[in-house]
Amino acid sequence: MVTLRLEPDDHRKVSEAIAAAEAASDGEILTIVSADSDSYHDVALHWAVAGMIGVLAICAWQTARLASAWEGLFGWGAEASAGELLFAAMILAVVKFLAVLLVLKWKPLRLALTPGATKGRRVRRRAIALFRAAAESRTVGRTAVLIYLSLAEHRAEIVADEAVTRVTTPECWGDAMAELIGEIREGRPGTGLALAVEEVGEVLTRHFPKTSEDVNEIPDKLIEL
């Protein structure tokens, strides 16, 4: 998977694209890029629990082999009781649990083992939270649109304010998302954001053409978290 990063020139491209898009409409476009949208520590915990249960299942299935291993460890005459075998199985399970947690401290692996649907939900949740904090109801006409990119997950979201959602459908952002995701896959997030801003600007221009009363209410810059 390509490692995504933003350069100073990317900030310039996006700022210029926002200014150009807003020059033709009363809409406001906000772009936010985050390194990730979640730590996914719970995913590591889920895998660790699954590993622990797997060890217990194998021990229950291969009781004879567990007893043989006990004899090999403590001597040929050491016949393990049921309680001792259970204790041994629990020790193995705990070791497995801790080992998986330790390995999954490496975030790239943790992300690789996170289901795509989980990533999608958490990126969407973070995008909505950031929109509510930074843009929702902060424009006179409630015409703000957030383009959010989460680098680690290689996922993006577009969130619009009330006035915009009344006159648009989620499908109308399809071209913007296609431009953004296409460039992300090529390792060019800045170019993708700039192209997405252009597409969003076209939608806003159709529904909210520029008026003389419009003022710039949100800075024309890329916010990097």
Please name each of the domains of the chain with its CATH number.
8-39+114-224 (3.10.310.50), 41-109 (no CATH)
Residuewise pLDDT in 10s, the chain (225 residues) = 556 778 888 899 999 999 999 998 988 999 999 999 999 999 999 999 999 999 889 888 877 776 676 666 666 556 666 777 777 788 888 999 999 999 999 999 999 999 999 999 999 999 999 999 888 777 778 888 999 999 999 899 999 998 899 998 888 899 899 989 888 888 888 899 999 999 999 999 999 998 877 787 888 889 998
Q: What is the pTM of this model?
A: 0.84
Neighbours of 178 (CB within 10 A): 14
Give the whole-angstrom CA distance, residue 117 versus residue 196. Answer: 23
- Biggest CA–CA distance in the chain, Å, is 94
> Do 193 and 150 contact (CB within 8 A), yes or no?
no
Element (H or E) spanning 82, and its range? helix 82-103
